[in-house]
């Protein structure tokens, strides 16, 4: 099990209603359904990944989260998950705001583009970084944003979003010191103030 998935499972309450936006192949949703008895639903754009979700017995809708969540009433989910997709969407602010509307809490996870190895690769090798959190070459990456932990914290302050919990992960363990420099991945639990 991926370390970020384990942290998300620890955050999710037993029996919670969960919506995962950009749920991929449904690995996280299946885990939450099994371990937390969560009532889960996903939205995924990629047809092949959506079929993998259905094969796992998950309820997944094919859709573009950037067009909004108009079919969902306010606060209809205990948790909305945006894990490892913030760097891939164009309308990041809109998707976060919609997630905060339909969810009581939102879990946001993303690779930290300011990680020290990424900085060194860019500065000393003059190349786009490739590592565990950023595993793609520049010509095949789905990433269109270069988000850092500091960027996200600033965003939350400007948009009056409350950060309830934050987790910073290195390659194999949590990061507690200077996370914007040393964490490869970040997870935040956010709500409206």
CATH code of residue 57: 3.40.50.150
104 within some domain:
yes
Q: Of the given ranges (20-34, 71-85, 109-123, 169-183), which has the lowest mean pLDDT?
A: 109-123
Domain count, the chain: 1
Percentage of the chain lying above the pLDDT 90 cut: 71
Which residues span the domain enclosing 56? 3-114+145-192
Percentage of the chain lying above the pLDDT 70 cut: 98
CA separation, residue 65 to residues 62, 105, 157 (Å):
9, 17, 24
How confident is the model at residue 146, as a pLDDT?
Answer: 81
Binned at pLDDT 50, 70 and 90, residue 133 comes out as low
Residue 154 clears pLDDT 80, i.e. is over it: yes
Residue 190 clears pLDDT 70, i.e. is over it: yes
- Helix then strand count (H, E) for the chain reads 7, 7
Q: How far apart are CA 147 and CA 2, in angstroms?
A: 21
Packing angle between helix 27-36 and helix 3-11, nearest 10 degrees?
40
166 within some domain:
yes
Q: Of the given ranges (57-66, 75-84, 112-121, 166-175), which has the lowest mean pLDDT?
A: 112-121
- Where is 150: in which H helix or E strand? helix 149-158
120 within some domain:
no
Binned at pLDDT 50, 70 and 90, residue 84 comes out as very high
How confident is the model at residue 142, as a pLDDT?
Answer: 72
134 within some domain:
no
Closest by Cα among 172, 159, 60 to 188? 159
């Amino acid at each position: 099990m991926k370390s970020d998935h384990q942290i998300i499972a620890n955050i999710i309450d037993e029996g919670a209603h969960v919506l995962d936006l950009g749920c991929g192949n449904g690995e996280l949703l299946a885990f939450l359904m099994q371990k937390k008895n969560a009532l889960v639903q996903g939205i995924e754009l990629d047809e092949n990944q959506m079929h993998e979700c259905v094969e796992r017995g998950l309820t997944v809708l094919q859709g573009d989260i950037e067009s909004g969540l108009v079919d969902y009433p306010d606060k209809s989910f205990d948790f909305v998950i945006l894990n490892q997709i913030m760097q891939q969407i164009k309308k990041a602010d809109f998707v976060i705001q919609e997630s905060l509307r339909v969810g009581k809490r939102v879990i946001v996870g993303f690779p930290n583009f300011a990680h020290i190895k990424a900085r060194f690769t860019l500065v000393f090798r003059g190349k786009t970084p490739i590592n565990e959190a950023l595993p793609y070459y520049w010509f095949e990456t789905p990433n269109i944003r270069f988000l850092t932990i500091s960027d996200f914290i600033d965003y939350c302050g400007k948009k009056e979003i409350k950060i309830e919990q934050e987790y910073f992960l290195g390659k194999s363990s949590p990061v507690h010191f200077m996370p914007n420099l040393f964490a490869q991945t970040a997870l935040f639990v956010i709500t409206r103030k």
